[in-house]
Structures are given as C-alpha cells and as structure tokens.
C-alpha cells in the first residue's frame, strides 16, 4: 500500500481547508443579507407551522379539552351587557362585512400608485386565498362550535376561527406595508403594536362570545401567518420573474 507523502497530504489538507473557508464565507454572506425583519418573519412562520400542527394533534389526536375549558372559565367573570356591546363592535372588524370592503379599498388605493401597483393584486390574492384556505380547513376538520353562545350562535364549523385568520392576514398585511414604506421608526412601532393588539382583541372577542374555542383562535392566527407569508412570497417571486421577463423583452426590442 502506498501512503501519500507528508508534504502532499499537507497540501491536500490546505486545499480542502481553503474550499471549506470559501463555503463558510458564502454561507455567512447569505445569512448576513437577511434582514432582522426577515429573520423574524421566518421564525414566526416556523413557529406558526409547529403551533398549528400541535393544536391539531391536541384537539383531534389527544382529544384535549382542558385548554379550551380554562379559557372559557377565565373569560366568564368579564361577561356583562356593557362589555358585550364593546366586544361585538371589536368582532365586527374581523367579519366579512368589514374586511371585504376594506380589502377592496386597499387594493384600489394601490391601483392608483404606479410604483406599487402590484399590491392591487397582492391584496385580493391574500384575502381571497385566506378565505378559501379557511373554508377548506373548516370543511376538512368539521369541528362543532361551542354551546351556549353569549349573544347569538354563529353559522358553520368552528375550526379554525375565520375571524382570527382573516384578521391576521388583513391586519398582518397592513403591518407588512407599514414596515416596508413608512420611514418614521416611532410611527412604525406605534402602528405595529396597535395592529397586533387589535388582532388579538378580535381573537379574544370570539372566545368571549363563545362562538369559538380558544384553540380555534390560536389555529386561526397560526394559519393566517402561514398563508400571509406564503402568499406574499409567491407573489413576490412572480413579480420578480415578470419584471425580468419584461426587461429582457425591452432589451431585445
């Protein structure tokens, strides 16, 4: 058996080490290109996928009810006529009666902004896709709604919460637009915190009114984040491809 000379082995090791360093530098450069905002979005996406899967297993696999029961018990002392009036107003902002015209209004607004006209397509894709995904999930899981609603019974199945998912996609899209286009950092944070709190209030309103279990609401939030991130990524990819294709055609002509 012929063994490599020590000098040859040392040169081979240096060559291999240099290749590894180059790969590590490229990987580090790729990670460095990711903004803090993008890393947060990716973390939220992964957390939402894990949460949604966990809730499905907890409800439909383990038949767990403790979490939902505890949530209803926590809300019960706050139920009153005055609070119910406020909660009904809050829940309205997560309903189709409000969100359909709101989405149309945002889409029309971007339609008249030449630089951001693509958002006139992104908004309906996000909202319509959210509705289709939510409806499909409701039909697939077929979970019955809670008994004894506080005000009036809601129609359809319970899992996931349509209000929670729609609120997350619509107001989450507004948060995305705020961070993308507003320059004032203080205003960015104020609007973001306000919108996040409003999303959670809409989710809370569904538990308060006993038209959804708490697990329905958490699943709706998770599904909303998953769909929002996926739809924005898909539309962004299509936009980049379309623009490159147009630029190539212009150069050829």
Q: Where are the alpha helices (DSSP H) in the chain?
A: 6-33, 36-56, 66-75, 81-92, 96-111, 119-141, 162-181, 185-208, 214-252
pLDDT 10s digit of each residue in the chain, 253 long? 444 445 554 455 455 556 555 655 554 454 444 467 778 888 888 999 999 999 999 998 888 889 999 999 999 999 999 999 999 999 999 998 999 999 888 888 877 765 666 666 778 888 888 889 999 999 999 999 998 888 888 888 999 999 999 999 999 999 988 888 888 889 999 999 999 999 999 999 999 999 999 999 999 999 999 999 988 888 877 767 666 554 555 455 5
| Distances, alpha carbon 98 to alpha carbons 94, 95, 163, 225, in Å | 7, 6, 11, 20
- 45 domain residue, yes or no: no
Q: Residue 243 in contact with residue 115, Cβ under 8 Å?
A: no
Q: 132: domain range? A: 50-252
Instruction: Establish if 16 belongs to a structural domain.
Output: no
**Domain-embedded: residue 112:** yes
Residue 138: what pLDDT? 93
Residue 12 pLDDT: 52
Residue 7 in domain: no
Q: Please report whether residue 37 resides in a domain.
A: no
Question: Is 172 within a domain?
Answer: yes
Asked if 159 contacts 143 with a C-beta cutoff of 8 angstroms, the reply is yes
Residue 114 belongs to a domain: yes
Q: Cβ of 191: how many Cβ atoms within 10 Å? A: 17
Q: Is residue 186 part of a domain?
A: yes
Look at the chain and report how many structural domains it folds into.
1
Helix (H, G, I), strand (E, B) or coil at 169: helix
Q: What is the pLDDT of residue 31?
A: 44
Q: What pLDDT, on the 0 to 100 scale, is given for residue 199?
A: 96
Distance CA 162, CA 77 (A): 25
Residue 8 is predicted with a pLDDT of 55
Position 2 scores a pLDDT of 46
């Amino acid at each position: 058996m012929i063994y490599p000379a020590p000098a040859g082995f040392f040169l081979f090791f240096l060559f291999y080490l240099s290749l590894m360093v180059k790969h590590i530098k490229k990987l580090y450069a790729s990670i460095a290109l990711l903004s803090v905002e993008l890393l947060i979005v990716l973390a939220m996406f992964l957390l939402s996928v894990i949460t949604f899967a966990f809730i499905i297993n907890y409800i439909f696999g383990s038949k767990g009810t403790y979490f939902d029961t505890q949530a209803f018990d926590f809300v019960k002392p706050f139920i009153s006529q005055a609070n119910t009036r406020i909660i009904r107003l809050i829940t309205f902002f997560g309903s189709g009666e409000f969100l359909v015209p709101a989405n149309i209004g945002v889409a029309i607004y971007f339609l008249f902004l030449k630089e951001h006209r693509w958002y006139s397509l992104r908004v309906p894709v996000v909202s319509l896709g959210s509705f289709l995904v939510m409806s499909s999930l409701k039909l697939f899981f077929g979970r019955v709604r809670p008994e004894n609603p506080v005000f009036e019974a809601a129609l359809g199945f319970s899992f996931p919460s349509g209000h929670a998912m729609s609120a997350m996609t619509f107001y989450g899209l507004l948060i995305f637009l705020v961070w993308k286009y507003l320059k004032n950092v203080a205003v960015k944070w104020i609007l973001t915190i306000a919108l996040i709190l409003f999303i959670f209030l809409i989710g809370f309103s569904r538990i308060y009114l006993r038209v959804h279990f708490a697990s329905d609401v958490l699943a709706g939030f998770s599904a909303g984040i998953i769909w929002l991130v996926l739809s924005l990524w898909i539309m962004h990819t299509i936009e980049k491809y379309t623009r490159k294709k147009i630029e190539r055609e212009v150069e050829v002509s």
